[in-house]
Structure 1
């Protein structure tokens, strides 16, 4: 398999679908919103974007299966599977906030080997494949060289449906506020991850995530020289429902900060 050529073709496809999403956003009406669950929103744009991706990806790699957010195709491949979030940041999109993206990763067994995240509003296409480095459009990207948490800007995502650990989470936020340059919440895990990869953030953490939120970003962070783990420092970050991504240098401090409060009784 020529991962470089596949990446180029994937980028073209994601750019095309991203352009469709951005155009639809110009005249989007909230009356078309559906709720899959509490604060779990979807629109025809998500569904049509996913259909376009699935159709295009079938042509790129016919033997691959799919893990899709909207369930357009749930056929699993014996070896290869595309993991698709057609519109990461749906809530931002429906409110007219230009912070969303197309995110597609390719898994070879349990490993992500290729990923593209395209932000149509900034016209930024982040991509990487195993052993090939990480890029934004035509330029190579690397994680930041900030040596410590006190030098870093940290991203996160707020709970939006499972509020059982809210108090612990707020304590974690408070600790990060006092130990870093600050906290940011964009509303798209895929963008958070690629911003770690290109050095805009030193770290990112979130829980209650799905594979399609992170798959593409995982390989991009890895190829940019970053580090990934669950909150415990180990485990599957794609299907493990939680993730810590960093430039590597701040990772131990991030794990320590999270571990001080996470899933512990609130004082």
Structure 2
């Protein structure tokens, strides 16, 4: 195991616990909520607080690393490492006090994702992966489902924030797929959808127009659980 990967992995696990506890504690407060790119694209003060918490700790312990986060954008580094952070994946869920939200943190080295952690504090679930070391849920190894028939499968998906104005809104694809599968789910968190695939709870997941902070950690976790990722551009 690469020592530098492990150092970052251990810090992430420590930090997501601290941030997750604060998110749960503040969940029932009257939070400040703002709109971003669309009136259904939300950011809460806890998104900002969590992002700043990670930024400060990364700058303290790994000052030469680059960072890409949903709330703060990109900052350069010199170490070859890049952190990819979504402080709350599923902000709308969080704002509505629905427990399907997570902190998603990935670390890339020279462009390759080597660490992935998705922590769902309200669910009490932490999904973790180190490249080449398998995927785990709360320390227990997980693998993808062995089901191969669509009619027996539960598939997850999501819809973009601009679905009312952009024809690439997944509605046509959703209508086609739902007629062929055993069940469909829309949880509102891409990171957690990927982790459900890794844990064998869902047989698959697809979505259009998601960002690196939505999927980098979850993709590594799926791969380490034996899953296959297909990208369509």
Provide TM-score, normalisation by structure 2.
Answer: 0.92
The match for 1:93 is: 94
Instruction: State the 4+ residue runs in structure 1 displaced beyond 6 angstroms.
Output: none
Considering only aligned residues, what root-mean-square deviation do their CA atoms show, in Å?
Answer: 1.6
- Superposition deviation, residue 34 in structure 1: 1.1
Instruction: Work out the CA distance in 2 between the residues paired with 1:60 and 1:131.
Output: 25
Instruction: Work out the CA distance in 1 between the residues paired with 2:175 and 2:8.
Output: 43
CA contact (8 A) 1:10 1:116 kept: yes
Q: Does 1:179 align with 2:159?
A: no
Q: Does 1:14 align with 2:36?
A: no
Q: Deviations over 1:67-119 (max 9, x none)?
A: 01111x63222411100000110111111111101000001122111010000
Is there any run of 5+ residues in structure 2 with no aligned partner, and where?
Answer: none
Q: Does 1:74 align with 2:85?
A: no
Q: Deviations over 1:15-63 (max 9, x none)?
A: 111111111112134xx11112212211211101111112223344332
Instruction: Work out the CA distance in 2 between the residues paired with 1:58 and 1:40.
Output: 28
Q: Partner of 1:50: helix, strand, or coil?
A: helix
The match for 1:130 is: 131
CA contact (8 A) 1:83 1:105 kept: yes
Q: Partner of 1:127: helix, strand, or coil?
A: strand
CA contact (8 A) 1:176 1:182 kept: no
Instruction: Work out the CA distance in 2 between the residues paired with 1:160 and 1:59.
Output: 35
CA contact (8 A) 1:6 1:60 kept: no
The match for 2:27 is: 25
Instruction: Work out the CA distance in 2 between the residues paired with 1:13 and 1:69.
Output: 17
Instruction: Work out the CA distance in 2 between the residues paired with 1:140 and 1:59.
Output: 32
Instruction: Work out the CA distance in 2 between the residues paired with 1:53 and 1:196.
Output: 27
The match for 2:213 is: 212
Q: Partner of 1:208: helix, strand, or coil?
A: coil
- Superposition deviation, residue 231 in structure 1: 2.7
Instruction: Work out the CA distance in 1 between the residues paired with 2:227 and 2:150.
Output: 14
The match for 2:119 is: 118
The match for 1:247 is: none
Instruction: Work out the CA distance in 2 between the residues paired with 1:158 and 1:74.
Output: 25
Instruction: Work out the CA distance in 2 between the residues paired with 1:4 and 1:148.
Output: 38
Instruction: Work out the CA distance in 2 between the residues paired with 1:123 and 1:8.
Output: 18
Number of aligned residue pairs: 228
**Pairing of 1:103-252 with structure 2 (within 5 A):** 103-162=104-163, 163-165=165-167, 169-231=170-232
Q: State which drifts further: 137-146 or 52-61.
A: 52-61
With over 3 angstroms needed to count, the CA separation of the structure-2 counterparts of 1:60 and 1:215, relative to structure 1, is farther
Q: State which drifts further: 185-194 or 156-165.
A: 156-165
Q: Partner of 1:195: helix, strand, or coil?
A: helix
